Amino acid sequence: MTAPTVPDLQHIAPREQAEILAQALPYIRKFHGKTIVIKYGGNAMIDPVLQQDFAEDVVLLKLVGMNPVVVHGGGPQIDEALSRLGKKGTFIQGMRVTDEETMEVVEWVLAGQVQQDIVGLINAAGGKAVGLTGRDGGLIRARKLKMVDKNDPSIEHDVGQVGEIESIDPSVVKALQDDQFIPVISPLGFGASNENYNINADVVAGKLAEVLRAEKLILLTNTPGVLDKSGKLLTDLSARQIDELFADGTISGGMLPKIAGALDAAKGGVNAVHIIDGRVPHAMLLEILSEQAYGTMIRSH
């Protein structure tokens, strides 16, 4: 296994370097052997420097004894592939409308291009990543999502081959973890008649974190975290406070499924859910191995 590249610390005095490393020790001890589900998305997936940072962070977490599981999105890559075919993506309440042709593109982009890029990055950084979709090992069983209009419950939107999770069988993920592999999961599920479903990656990450009894769920985003109406970062939120932010419209658009999934995971037994800024280099490592908050933490109560 090739050693991961090490950031240049020459500008930091040796004593300070030692203190930085020593500060990480309690967190390494606390989370040793624990599962950490990471939703990988946003700029961290597109910027080559941030991609490298992410891969190194995941490998380091594995090497110090944690069990990272990566669930990835791919919205911008799907939009790009659709536009090459002359199609434009449409969204209803933050969910991508997925007709048959769009579903083919989604599968090709997520399970092919994006997943294999991530597997390659992690392996190049010294890890052993393995790509999975919801079909592998019967991981994600899904059914067609019935989307009720948020303003008028009597209206139901048809969003095509978008699925909601019926059940997750985590045995394939656990088998890989036990064998020192890092699972990289595309959010694609299958139905009772073997049909394909595109599932929101934040929802998959949240549900998987629940089923795996994860210590943490980390959602990498293109925002500093959850912001209040004046744009100030809210670093620590309870379930009740989030319900209030939904009600007054502070949380809307693409953040709706993200926060809803995070809240469900917190209520479902995941100790801490972090929504962090994937544009900050090594944000994930800083969030897990230091006291500093780099986003919003959601508590179940």
Q: Tell me what pLDDT residue 10 has.
A: 61
CATH, range 28-298: 3.40.1160.10
Task: Name the pairing type of β-strands 91-92 and 147-148.
Answer: unpaired
Q: Tell me what pLDDT residue 254 has.
A: 67
Q: Do 264 and 210 touch, CB atoms closer than 8 A?
A: yes
Note down pLDDT in tens along the chain; length 301 residues: 444 444 555 677 888 878 878 888 999 999 999 999 999 987 788 889 999 999 999 999 999 999 999 999 998 899 999 999 998 878 888 788 999 999 999 999 999 999 999 999 999 999 999 999 999 999 999 999 988 888 888 999 999 999 999 999 999 999 998 889 999 999 999 999 999 999 989 899 999 999 999 999 999 988 888 888 888 888 888 877 888 888 787 777 667 777 888 888 888 889 889 999 889 888 898 889 887 777 888 876 6
- Identity of the amino acid at 279: R
200 known member of a binding site: no
**Hey, which bits of 73-205 come out as E strands?**
91-92, 95-96, 129-132, 140-144, 147-148, 156-157, 163-168, 182-185, 188-190, 196-198
Q: Tell me what pLDDT residue 179 has.
A: 86
Tokens of 72: 């990835």
Tell me the domain boundaries of the chain. Answer: 28-298
271 known member of a binding site: no
74 known member of a binding site: yes
96 known member of a binding site: yes
Burial grade of 174 (CB within 10 A; 0-12, 13-18, 19 or more): middle
Cα 110–chain centre separation: 14
CA distance linking residue 231 with residue 253, whole number of Å:
16
